[in-house]
Structure 1
Amino acid sequence: MTLPPTELQQRYLTHLRVERRLAARSLTLYEDALTRLNGLAERDAVDLLRLSSAQARRWTAELHARQDLAPRSLALLLSAWRGWYRWLGRERLVEFNPIEGLRPPKAAKPLPKALAVDDAVQLADYRDAEADAAIEARDHAIVELLYGCGLRIAELVGLDARPGPEAAGWIDLSNAEAQVLGKGAKRRSVPIGSAALKALREWLALRPQLLRGENPALFPGPRGGRISAAYVRLRLKQRALAAGMPSHVHPHMLRHSFASHLLQSSGDLRAVQELLGHANIATTQVYTKLDFQHLAKVYDAAHPRAKKR
């Protein structure tokens, strides 16, 4: 059962609208939360001005158990209730906040999305025969670096064609390495595979065609300056569609694919951590779950005892 907000709650909503200047969408969320609170109180004959922490905890557990709300939605609901009781406390209408300290269950973190090996190779091998040669060489080299080196998008767009005093990162073709500036301004060296090296050499031969003036950036954008992350995302999306990818592909998906496929082949978690530039190995360990998913699919497809009769 749900009841509309009481007169006291309407005063609170007016406070949020006039003094806090909350957006209309936020006000609607607060009103919905208070409406749900009223329904619970009416059902259980509870005076909301005398609500106990134990009762509030029971309602939270009930909403979670019934799966009425996802953990994130439940967190928003509790935040709205908490704010309401804080306001009541300032108005000296309640002695304590029964929602203070209540926390929703943690939402399960989704696993990073990675391409299948065949799909990643198909995308990396794709060529657009009708595109401008320089643009095609640039976009191909971008895909090879994202998938072949596991670079973050910010690391990629920050690369210069050669080292310099102001370079955030650069390509060292002679040593087959990319020197990148990662999170926390930490530098690391990433090896460049033969396919990416070949793509880079082809691109560098055509790079002057897309430059305007003095521009150290390895990858210039459509206006001749350093390419932007948004433009890379757009070009990759278009390229993936043209290559027949089964789902939307974004730059970080290629980084996930790099890590997952490398871990499948080597099993060396510490090496993958170093290549990705993760400060904490726990961040890298999520890819072991992806690796297990891969193994589980292989088992389901191949093992006689896994097949349905």
Structure 2
Amino acid sequence: MATSEDTGAGAAAALIERYLEHARVERRLAGRTLDIYAEHLRALAAKMAEARLPVDRVTAAHVRRWMAQMHSAGREPRGIALVLSCWRSFFRWLGQQRLVPFNPVQDVRAPKAARPLPKALAVDDAVQLAELHDPDADPWTEARDRAIVELLYGCGLRVSELVGLDVHAGKDARGWVDLDAGEAQVLGKGSKRRGVPVGGKAADALRTWLAVRDQCAALPAARVRDPASAAALFIGRTGMRFSAQSVWKTAKARSLKAGLPAAVHPHMLRHSFASHVLQSSSDLRAVQELLGHANITTTQVYTRLDFQHLAKAYDAAHPRAKAKDDTE
């Protein structure tokens, strides 16, 4: 084991250069990766010099304090995790060289990144999209695309659940819509089947689509190539079952036609469904069942969206929400 004098703070720069050469030659790290390692390791050397610490005296407590400083300075958790990864690799190499007694970064973990909130439309924007009538689309395509948007927003379906729907129930069907019962049966994650209510607007849109669906000239040929297309609720102009990618393109195109500020993807309509139901009902368990979440903690993210909605309403309406304007 080397002495503290050999591995003092003054020698840190030389050790870092030796390690970077090892990473370049032996580990064959890319040039950009080496630049990142060099930046973070030189920052480490500066922290050791400031604390008058040789490399063999650095402890996990020191590393955690430096990590806290980075966090308070505004560095994101992912960035901190990258820094720690560089430091961890450096101290691992020092241990292999018998220059440190242990790796002080080994059990230090970066702060958890905040789970991003799902993107949901405002109620008015969602209604504007659902009620869009595209004058440039032919009646067949317009009927199909309106029914797709109504089901995504009105039932909170995943895109995979939507494209798996058949016209009629059957033992081989992944899902179907029973308009008389006002319910859709879908096959969700983990092959779990659930029933979802179909609202009046979505039911009307589906009836309009079903009245024209079989007018697709390519449907007979598609039935020969893929018999399953005969059962599919949503089909394309080729007569084949509509794909998830096609649903994404449809949602994006209609949102732009509707004049929304940003393109909409199918899962955003599912988020909007959950957020709007929760805003109106405050029934988290019901939203969990409607979405088909196995764990309610997955659904709880929508309570944060609901709180944002309430906070905006409070700021806009409550006389004590904002400080009085001194100019009044």
Q: State whether TM-score is above 0.5.
A: yes
Alignment partners' CA distance in 2, 1:250 and 1:227: 16
* C-alpha distance after superposition, 1:267-306 (max 9, x if no partner): 2221111111111222222222222222222222222223
Match of 2:65 among 52, 58, 65: 58
SS of 1:170's partner is strand
Moved segments of 4+, more than 6 Å: none
The answer for the alignment partner of 2:240 in structure 1 is: 225
Residue 207 of structure 2 is aligned to residue 201 of structure 1: yes
Write out aligned runs for 1:261-276 (5 A).
Answer: 261-276=276-291
Contact 1:12 1:84 in 2 (8 A): no
Alignment partners' CA distance in 1, 2:52 and 2:61: 15
Contact 1:56 1:99 in 2 (8 A): yes
Q: 1:100 to 1:116 in 2, by over 3 A?
A: same
Query: Which 10-residue stretch deviates more, 49-58 or 126-135?
Result: 49-58
* C-alpha distance after superposition, 1:132-182 (max 9, x if no partner): 222211111111011000011221122222223332222222222111111
CA drift of 1:131 comes to 0.7
SS of 1:99's partner is coil
* C-alpha distance after superposition, 1:102-123 (max 9, x if no partner): 1112222222221111111000
Alignment partners' CA distance in 2, 1:229 and 1:294: 30
Query: Which 10-residue stretch deviates more, 8-17 or 109-118?
Result: 8-17
Alignment partners' CA distance in 2, 1:175 and 1:11: 69
Write out aligned runs for 1:249-268 (5 A).
Answer: 249-268=264-283
Which amino acid in the other structure matches residue 8 of structure 1?
Y
Task: State the Cα RMSD in Å.
Answer: 2.4
Alignment partners' CA distance in 1, 2:318 and 2:237: 51
In structure 1, list runs of 5 or more residues that go unmatched.
none
Query: Which 10-residue stretch deviates more, 138-147 or 79-88?
Result: 79-88
Match of 1:7 among 18, 37, 46: 18
Contact 2:140 2:213 in 1 (8 A): yes
Contact 1:3 1:36 in 2 (8 A): no
Alignment partners' CA distance in 1, 2:83 and 2:199: 50
In structure 2, list runs of 5 or more residues that go unmatched.
1-11
Count residues with an aligned counterpart: 303
Match of 2:47 among 40, 49, 65: 40
Alignment partners' CA distance in 1, 2:232 and 2:34: 46
Alignment partners' CA distance in 2, 1:155 and 1:177: 14
Percent same amino acid at aligned positions? 58
Q: 1:182 to 1:30 in 2, by over 3 A?
A: farther
Contact 2:174 2:186 in 1 (8 A): yes
Contact 2:166 2:175 in 1 (8 A): yes
Q: TM-score, normalising length from structure 2?
A: 0.84
Contact 1:169 1:179 in 2 (8 A): yes
Q: 1:13 to 1:277 in 2, by over 3 A?
A: same
Which amino acid in the other structure matches residue 111 of structure 1?
L
Larger Rg: 2
Which amino acid in the other structure matches residue 158 of structure 1?
G
The answer for the alignment partner of 2:140 in structure 1 is: 134
The answer for the alignment partner of 2:161 in structure 1 is: 155
Residue 89 of structure 2 is aligned to residue 96 of structure 1: no
* C-alpha distance after superposition, 1:243-271 (max 9, x if no partner): 01122321111111111111122222211
Alignment partners' CA distance in 1, 2:39 and 2:166: 52
The answer for the alignment partner of 2:293 in structure 1 is: 278
Alignment partners' CA distance in 2, 1:161 and 1:24: 56
Query: Which 10-residue stretch deviates more, 53-62 or 202-211?
Result: 202-211
SS of 1:13's partner is helix
The answer for the alignment partner of 1:306 in structure 2 is: 321
CA drift of 1:49 comes to 4.8
Match of 1:144 among 138, 143, 150: 150
Alignment partners' CA distance in 2, 1:191 and 1:263: 15
Contact 2:20 2:34 in 1 (8 A): no
